[in-house]
Structure 1
Amino acid sequence: MKRILSQCIKELAQFQRDRLTLALAFILPLMTLLIFGFAIRLEAKDIPLFVQDFDLTPLSRSYVERLFATNQFKPAFPENTNPQRIDPQSVIDQGIAKVAVVIPPDFTRQIKANKRTNVQVLVDGTDTNNARVIKNSIQATTKFFLQDSGLQPLTEKINARVRIWFNPGRQESLYIVPGLYALILWIYPSLLVAVAMVREKEKGTILQVYASSLTALELLLGKGLAYLIIGISEAFFIMGLGSLIWGLGFAGDPTPLLVSTLIFLADSVSFGLLVGVRAASQNAAVQAVALIGFLTALLLSGFIYPLSNIPFPLSLVSNIVPARYYIEVTRDAYVRGTGWSGVWLWVLILIVLGLLLFNAARIGLKRMQLSD
Structure 2
Amino acid sequence: MKRILSQCRKELAQFRRDRLSLALAFLLPFMTLIIFGFVIRLESKNIPLFIQDFDNSPLSRSYIERLFATNQFEPIHNFKFSLFTSNQNPEFQNPQAAIDQGLAKAAVVIPPDFSRRIKSELPTDLQILVDGTDVNNARIIKNSIQATTIFFLRDSGLQSSFDKVIAHIRLWFNPGRKESLYIVPGVYAVILWIYPSLLTAVAMVREKEKGTILQVYASSLSAEELLLGKGLAYLLIGISEALLITVMSAIIWQLTFAVEVTPLFISTLLFLVDSVMFGLLIGVRVNNQNSAVQAVALLGFLTALLLSGFIYPISNIPFPLSLFSAVIPARYYIEITRDAYVRGTGWPGVWFSVMMLIILGFLLFNAARRILRRMQLSD
Aligned to 2:245: 238
Return the match for 1:119 from 122, 126, 129: 126
For 1:220 and 1:153, locate their aligned partners in 2 and report how far apart those are by CA, in whole Å: 74
* CA contact 2:121–2:160 (8 Å) conserved in 1: no
In the alignment, structure 1 residue 207 sits paired with structure 2 residue 214: yes
In the alignment, structure 1 residue 300 sits paired with structure 2 residue 307: yes
Aligned to 1:20: 20
Structure 1 stretches (4+) deviating beyond 3 angstroms? 77-81
Question: Sequence identity, in percent?
Answer: 73
Deviation, 1:77, is: 4.4
Deviation, 1:215, is: 0.5
**Cα shift readout 1:281-318 (whole Å, capped 9, x = no counterpart):** 10000000000000000000000001110000000000
The residue identity in structure 2 corresponding to 1:108 is: S
The residue identity in structure 2 corresponding to 1:63 is: Y
In the alignment, structure 1 residue 59 sits paired with structure 2 residue 66: no
* CA contact 1:11–1:226 (8 Å) conserved in 2: yes
For 1:179 and 1:292, locate their aligned partners in 2 and report how far apart those are by CA, in whole Å: 18
* CA contact 1:50–1:77 (8 Å) conserved in 2: no
**Cα shift readout 1:105-144 (whole Å, capped 9, x = no counterpart):** 1111111222111110100111110000000000000000
For 1:241 and 1:165, locate their aligned partners in 2 and report how far apart those are by CA, in whole Å: 26
Deviation, 1:83, is: 5.0
User: 1:220-299 maps to which residues of 2 (within 5 A)?
Assistant: 220-299=227-306
Unaligned segments of structure 2, at least 5 residues: none
Q: CA RMSD in A?
A: 1.3
In the alignment, structure 1 residue 100 sits paired with structure 2 residue 107: yes
For 2:282 and 2:6, locate their aligned partners in 1 and report how far apart those are by CA, in whole Å: 23
Aligned to 1:342: 349
* CA contact 1:46–1:73 (8 Å) conserved in 2: yes
Aligned to 2:75: 75
The residue identity in structure 1 corresponding to 2:31 is: M
* CA contact 1:102–1:119 (8 Å) conserved in 2: yes
SS at match of 1:312: coil
Unaligned segments of structure 1, at least 5 residues: none
* CA contact 1:78–1:96 (8 Å) conserved in 2: no
**Cα shift readout 1:70-116 (whole Å, capped 9, x = no counterpart):** 01000114989925761111100111010110001111111122211
Deviation, 1:155, is: 3.5
Deviation, 1:156, is: 2.1
Aligned to 1:90: 97
Aligned to 1:195: 202
Q: How many residues align?
A: 372
* CA contact 1:189–1:269 (8 Å) conserved in 2: yes
TM-score (norm 1): 0.98
**Cα shift readout 1:138-191 (whole Å, capped 9, x = no counterpart):** 000000011111110573211111110011000001100000001100000000
| Bigger Cα displacement from structure 2, 81-90 vs 347-356 | 81-90
